Amino acid sequence: MSKLLEDREGLIIPKKLFKVAVAQYSSVNFDLEGSLNKLEKITKDAASKGAQLVLFPEAFLPGYPHGGDFGAVYGNHGLSGRKIYQLWHESAVEIPGPAITRLSKVAKENNIFLVVGIIEKESISSTLYCTVVFIKEDGEYLGKHRKLVPTNIERITWGQGDGSTLNVYDSPVGKVGAVICWENYMPLLRTTMYTKGIQIYCAPNADNSADRWQHTMRHIAMEGRCFVLGCNQFTRRSDYPPDPEFPNAISDKDGDRVLSSGGSIIVSPLGELIAGPNYSGEELLVAEIDLNDVIRGKYDLDVVGHYNRPDIFTLYVNEKPNPVLVTKMQDLKLSGAVDCEKQDCSNAIQKS
């Protein structure tokens, strides 16, 4: 045995152990109350297993409409799409609102940090947003992240988020943030999260590409030297309303047909699978993690530290909110919509 290996025989490696959970379940689709009830039951299960944080899938409240075409073809939008959009909008989540209050109660009662994918609606417009909310273990609502770029047909029904919701929050298990589904293919967004010191990288998604998505999750874990929690739904056609209520590419007669096959995983900062993937059904994945693995991982790779060249590469991120309505000129300037020092603001809309 070499002298170096002999020196390591009695080495004590300090650990900082926590349990995290990933909830691979179908929503009670288009039923906010039913989905909240299911979330509460799953959260209690996670807490009973010792989890201190639990992640739910993209759009879990009130569901992701797998297979729905919303009556859209080039040059036409059918009545069926308008009806299903109304149903979806009616069951969406307002912030603040009763659903957020309910989530806060569930988090506090179970002493667990919640990261939940929702469909968000605003009181000032009828646009929907794909959003993740963060609720502390004491019930405090911390904030949200809105998906920056909806994917494919999602763009018919979802608005775009802005840079004001690219936050990382302190949690009992480390610094946590969320990047939703194909946002994970945006390298500058990933880098932004790394610069904020993310340790628990939550990736709620609706991607159904099986093993290809596993490669993405493992790459991100190794690139960012962080724990990655990838969370997808497992759902069948029978989990959705029948054809007349929810026109779908898959007939309701094929109720056992899998529309989203899960594949949720938990990955270490060195790309090792800790839990999952499961492609066979609903499951709560629970894993013990050692937060010190994040520091040990950055020993040889820190892409926003010693393995970076800021003298060559510069990343600019606009984190200012971009509201629809600006009531004061200084707010227009703060939003980043216009630089009043360089541009003529005399024609900007102002409301006293």
The residues carrying an active-site annotation are: 58
Q: What number of residues does the chain have? A: 352
Q: Is 50:286 a contact under the CB 8 Å cutoff? A: yes
- In this structure, the number of other CB atoms found within 10 A of the CB of residue 301 comes to 15
Beta bridge partners of 202: 178, 229
Measured CA to CA, the distance from residue 280 to residue 182 in angstroms comes to 23
Measured CA to CA, the distance from residue 242 to residue 252 in angstroms comes to 5
Q: Which phi and psi (to 5°) does residue 240 adopt?
A: -115, 160
Picking from 224, 221, 236, 235, the residue whose alpha carbon sits closest to that of residue 275 is 221
DSSP string, 111-154: T-EEEEEEEEE-SS---EEEEEEEE-TTS-EEEEEE-SS--TTH
Measured CA to CA, the distance from residue 284 to residue 255 in angstroms comes to 23
Range 8-17, long-range pairs (CB < 8 A, 24+ positions): 13/292, 14/292, 15/290, 15/292, 16/290, 16/291, 16/292, 17/288, 17/289, 17/290, 17/291
Three-class DSSP category at 285: strand
Q: What is the chain's alpha carbon radius of gyration, rounded to the nearest angstrom?
A: 22
